[in-house]
A and B are shown apart, each in its own frame.
Chain A
Amino acid sequence: MISLPFWNPIICIIAFVILIAIACLFRSRGQKKYKEGTAQTEIFLSGEEPPAVEQRHIKSHNIYWGFFQTLKQYYDPTVRAHTGIINDFIIWLIAIAALTAVILLIASLT
């Protein structure tokens, strides 16, 4: 028969409460003399002025950094091609359509 490990939710709750009490004790022993609204409560950036709150978050784009870095040879020309100018997109459309037509024509002859 397989013996299950001991499990009792009451003991877990008591342990959790004890840990919270210890954490609160440590926190109560901390420095209380920080002046709110001064540089004492600002983040420390080696003496640099901290950026605005909305500038502090890490952009989600950053998690794709390795992906973009690996496929740089592919992305660099394609990003350059995406100029945002409608004329360029129409030229691409016509060029691809012409290329497709030529391929289909050659395929139909063979």
Chain B
Amino acid sequence: MGFNSFKRALWAYHLNTGSCNGCDIEILATLTPRYDVERFGIVLVGSPRHADVLLVTGPVARQMASRVKRVYEQVPDPKMVIVVGNCGIEGGVFHESYNLVGPVDQIIPVDVYVPGCPPRPEAIIEAVVKAWVKLEKAEQGVR
């Protein structure tokens, strides 16, 4: 697969909005020697201002809603949002909690969903590749 417009490494910022940490551990697993996504240039960065992709986990607790919006706004365009895990997609086991304002797509636009509780690292990597393809299209202005 070759890209004509998005020719740099893909940098991702991971945001936990109230996750149980299961999905976060699976995201970290993609960086371990077994999967080692850094060999493809996919790197977790410490600031959304450096990121191309926002990886969001958790069902969005009330206190996190404004933080999620602000972090999303801080990612430079074009940007992709990947929701990792059932909680971010539809609330998961927390869906009846009084303290939720999610799921994530109620707060910010989402491009790729990765279902699972937690999803396997292979699924997360596939989602990142899909986001990468969408970014390529977005760079070409045909999003």
Contact = CB atoms under 8 A, between A and B. Distances in A.
Interface of A: 31, 33-35, 38-40, 42, 44, 46-49
A44 B51 CA distance: 12
Nearest to B67: A47
B73 A34 contact: no
A40 B73 contact: yes
Contacts of B15: 47
Interface in B56-83: 64, 66-68, 70-71, 73-78
Interface residues of B, number: 17
Contact of A44 (B64, B74, B77): B74
A6 to B, nearest CB: 41
Given A47-B68, A48-B67, A39 B77 contact: no
Given A33-B77, A39-B74, A44 B67 contact: no
B76 A40 contact: yes
Contacts of A34: 49, 76
Q: Find the residue from A33, A35, A40, A49 having the highest chain B CB count within 10 A.
A: A40
